[in-house]
A and B are shown apart, each in its own frame.
Chain A
Amino acid sequence: AQSVTQLDSQVPVFEEAPVELRCNYSSSVSVYLFWYVQYPNQGLQLLLKYLSGSTLVKGINGFEAEFNKSQTSFHLRKPSVHISDTAEYFCAVLQTGANNLFFGTGTRLTVIP
């Protein structure tokens, strides 16, 4: 069985401040890890993904995430947020050998001017 936990349902942060969105997962097999972003009234767009290799993954729009196998975490970070980063962020896992993603419940990031 697998599960994905996004610990914070809402994260308000001031513009230009750093942000971290937390994600923990559990799985009995190895996984690939993803972060998607959903802007209002739109579908999901891939931010970044971890498949193998370096545990620090850089994505679009200045985001990065670090895979920590011992803590089964894949937290998303950005050193300085913009108003345009206001969106919902989803962490997801894909078990190796599987085809479909399993999603967390999402974190709504609100950037305050």
Chain B
Amino acid sequence: DVKVTQSSRYLVKRTGEKVFLECVQDMDHENMFWYRQDPGLGLRLIYFSYDVKMKEKGDIPEGYSVSREKKERFSLILESASTNQTSMYLCASSDTGNRGNTIYFGEGSWLTVV
């Protein structure tokens, strides 16, 4: 079974703090994603990466950055957390190609910024 592991399930941070959300996948997938989930808005793509050190902006990249130094690990960084970044963050991974490959999700990280 594919496993996507998000290291922190629940975090509480203060406004202005730097926040790291870590994600690891064990299936040697090329693609990795960070989504944000908010009630009534569904899931929105923040960033994705299709290879080590490669990244592309999604629909809502403002206020976020990412890092992919190793194939299995994809980090989401909030340089200076703000209260409007309180949300559920979901990491995902998939194999490459355009064959409709399934995207596999982690269990999510609930971030509260106070």
Q: Which of A36, A99, A104 contacts B94 (CB 8 A)?
A: A99
Q: Which of A6, A44, A46, A102 contacts B90 (CB 8 A)?
A: A44
The answer to whether B107 touches A100, judged by C-beta atoms less than 8 angstroms apart, is: no
CB distance from B34 to the nearest CB of A (A): 10
Closest A residue, CB atoms, query B96:
A99
Q: Interface residue count for A (Cβ, 8 Å)? A: 26
> A37-80, CB under 8 A of B: which get 1 and which 0?
00001111110010100000000000000000000000000000
The answer to whether A103 touches B42, judged by C-beta atoms less than 8 angstroms apart, is: yes
The answer to whether B108 touches A46, judged by C-beta atoms less than 8 angstroms apart, is: no
Q: Interface residue count for B (Cβ, 8 Å)? A: 27
List residues 63-113 of chain A with CB under 8 A from any CB of chain B. Answer: 90, 94, 96-106
C-alpha spacing A98/B45, complex, angstroms: 13
Tell me the interface secondary structure of chain B in the complex.
strand
The answer to whether B108 touches A90, judged by C-beta atoms less than 8 angstroms apart, is: no
The answer to whether B42 touches A106, judged by C-beta atoms less than 8 angstroms apart, is: yes
C-alpha spacing A9/B92, complex, angstroms: 24
Tell me the interface secondary structure of chain A in the complex.
loop
The answer to whether A96 touches B98, judged by C-beta atoms less than 8 angstroms apart, is: yes
Closest B residue, CB atoms, query A33:
B100
CB distance from B17 to the nearest CB of A (A): 24
Known contacts A99-B50, A105-B41: does B106 contact A43 (CB below 8 Å)?
Answer: yes
CB distance from B40 to the nearest CB of A (A): 6
Q: Is A32's CB within 8 Å of the partner chain B?
A: yes
The interface of chain B, by Cβ under 8 A from chain A, is 4, 31, 33, 35, 40-45, 48, 50, 58, 90, 92, 94, 96, 98-100, 102-108
The interface of chain A, by Cβ under 8 A from chain B, is 6, 9, 32, 34, 36, 41-46, 49, 51, 90, 94, 96-106
Beyond the given A41-B107, A103-B35, please list 13 additional residue pairs across the A-B interface where CB-CB is below 8 A: A9-B40, A42-B107, A42-B108, A51-B99, A94-B103, A98-B98, A99-B50, A99-B94, A100-B31, A101-B103, A102-B45, A103-B42, A106-B42
